Amino acid sequence: MGASGPSVLIWHRVSMPLHVRTMAVDDLEWCHALNEANVPALGTETREAFDQLLELSSIALVATVDGERAGFTICMLAGADYESMNYRWFISRHDTLVYLDRVAVDARFKGRGVGRALYDEVDRLGLALAGPGVPFCLEVNLEPRNDDSLAFHDRLGFAEVGQQRTPNGKLVSMMERPIGASHM
């Protein structure tokens, strides 16, 4: 289940109290609803399968703004018993990694630094758990094209290392950058 660690309070540039903490079991209903609201950017999951992701994860975080849930992310390390084709693609290339399986920010909070704050905390925890030099891996949809996510990940320093087509007909851009980049 998600790594615990001190939660982080970040005062956003417009003095918005943005807080990132470890995901808890009672966050799952909200996170699953946000996941489903963001299909096809994120893969659809049954509630049972979504709950299983938390069990497989090593880093699972929720961001809050003024105490209200605003976004989440779920990440795995190498060695997870996870059958995702995209996770397997990265695992076949790296002995160690941090794989970001999914991230979503509630539409009301987009563009306010919530996604960046989640990635900062993945960087901090990932560096501690996996060590320096480890790739921070994820995929973004090219078909259907997710321009918001492509712009966001370009801004955060991710670069394409490959592409693959998934059985559900998506074409995805496989992206990486070193873990911890936002803390170096």
Q: Residues interacting with ligand COA, by CB under 6 A?
A: 38, 41-42, 103-105, 110-116, 140, 146, 148-149, 151-152, 155
Between residues 87 and 152, which has the closer beta carbon with respect to ligand COA?
A: 152
Rg (CA), the chain: 15
* DSSP assignment letter at 42: S
Give phi and psi for 97, each to the nearest 5. -170, 170
Between residues 54 and 156, which has the closer beta carbon with respect to ligand COA?
A: 156
Which residue(s) pair with 9 in the sheet?
Answer: 19
CB of 157 to ligand COA, least distance (A): 11
CB of 67 to ligand COA, least distance (A): 17
CB of 93 to ligand COA, least distance (A): 19
Between residues 63 and 134, which has the closer beta carbon with respect to ligand COA?
A: 63
Residue that has been written with the tokens 């919530």 in this structure: 114
Give the residue at shortest CB distance from ligand COA.
Answer: 115
CA separation, residue 88 to residues 55, 112, 167, 176 (Å): 18, 32, 14, 15
Between residues 125 and 140, which has the closer beta carbon with respect to ligand COA?
A: 140
Residue type, 168: N
